[in-house]
Amino acid sequence: MKPGIRWGLVIFISPVLAWLTLLIVLPQVDMFIMAIRAENSLGEMGFSLGNFKLFFLEPIYWRTFARTAIFSVLVTFLTFLITMPVAFYITKVVSPKFQGFLAVLVLMPFWVSELVRVYGWMILLRESGVINHFLLKFGLLDQPMEMLYNDVAMVMGLVYTSMLFMLVPLLSALESLDNNLIEAAYDLGGNVGSIATRIVIPHCLPGIVSGSIVVFMLTLGNYLTPNLMGGKNGLWFTEQIYNQFIASFNWNQGSAFGFLLLILSSGIIWLGLKLTHQRLGKVVQ
């Protein structure tokens, strides 16, 4: 091998390596060290698994943890259910002239920040909001109803926030699906259900899995939407981490929680890949 080629490799790979080391590996190592240290009874710092122990002893922590995991899976699944027909419609039903237009239409809301979008929902849903206003006006309600600060509103907000990240991989997966396959299945006696489950979904599986991974990770790590739309009785695990770092100023405890969240997301993604017989390398492509 010529030395020049090696230099090229070094030049191209070093920014990536530097980025990974400085921003991902070093902080994680530091977090891990913090997570396994705690104050003993004398107020001295030392090795301890107490931070992790506390997580299992206090029901509020592991319940929030389980709740976050279950809701994230639910949000991912709902996002898929809503996005799949949309993606199919854009790629296969609409005439090619409108495909780009419709895709931009779906993309457009994502040009504004998540915060603004969530506030948009809040304007619609809150007690003095737009929906309540019209329901009262048409006499469907006697007094305003609080639609925010519950799990339904939170899940809706999360699904809305995640849709784009499911839509893009699904669009490209469906784009590569040969229309003749759908027609052939139809010709051989298939109906909507069997064509979807035997042809369309198997073909799009890598796209579905990659979209699901992104949506799941973003939902699990989301802080803004659960905090603003979920209200006080709908806790999200990221809020617990935030509380430990900012409110309690217990960085060691917060680091332990952060690590648990990392393990949780890796675990569920691993499970999802196993269940769908996909490999991470293929899905990410």
Partner 1 sequence: MQTDLSVVRVMKKFQEFTAVDGVSFDVEKGKFFSILGPSGCGKTTLLRMISGFFEPTSGTIEINGRNMAGIPPNKRPVNLIFQNLALFPMMNVGQNIAFGLERQREKRNVIRTKTAQILERVGLPGFEKKKVDQLSGGQRQRVAIARSLILEPAVLLLDEPLGALDLKLREQMKIELKTLQSQVGTTFVYITHDQSEALVMSDHVAVMNKGVFEQVDTPRNLYSKPSTPFVARFVGENNQWDARVISLDERKGRVVAAIMTPEGHRFEARVQGQLTPGADIDLFLRPEAIVLEPDAAIEGLNRFSIIVRSILFDGANSRILARLPESDREIQISLPQTRQFDHITPGNRVDAGWSPESGMVFAKEKNRDSDPRRVTP
- Residue 118 or 199 having the CB closest to partner 1: 199
Binding mask of the shown chain, residues 133 to 172, with x at each position contacting partner 1 by CB under 8 A = ----------------------------------------
The one-letter amino acid code at 144 reads P
Within 10 angstroms of residue 171's Cβ, the number of other Cβ atoms is 22
Minimum CB separation of residue 76 from partner 1 in Å reads: 23
Q: Choose one: 154-162, 178-186, 219-227, 236-244; the region binding partner 1 (CB under 8 A).
A: 178-186
Minimum CB separation of residue 277 from partner 1 in Å reads: 12
Terminal Cα-to-Cα distance of the chain (whole angstroms): 28
The one-letter amino acid code at 121 reads W
Minimum CB separation of residue 180 from partner 1 in Å reads: 4
Long-range contacts, 273-280 (Cβ 8 Å, 24+): 273/209, 276/205, 276/208, 276/209, 278/205, 278/206, 278/209
State which of positions 182-211 bind partner 1 (CB under 8 A).
Answer: 183-191, 194, 198-199, 202-203
Q: At what angle do helices 251-275 and 201-220 cross, to 10 degrees?
A: 170
- Residue 21 or 197 having the CB closest to partner 1: 197
Residues 178-188 as b or e (16 or more Cβ within 10 Å = b): eeeebeebeee
- Residue 59 or 189 having the CB closest to partner 1: 189
**Chain contacts with partner 1 (rule: CB under 8 A):** 178, 180-181, 183-191, 194, 198-199, 202-203
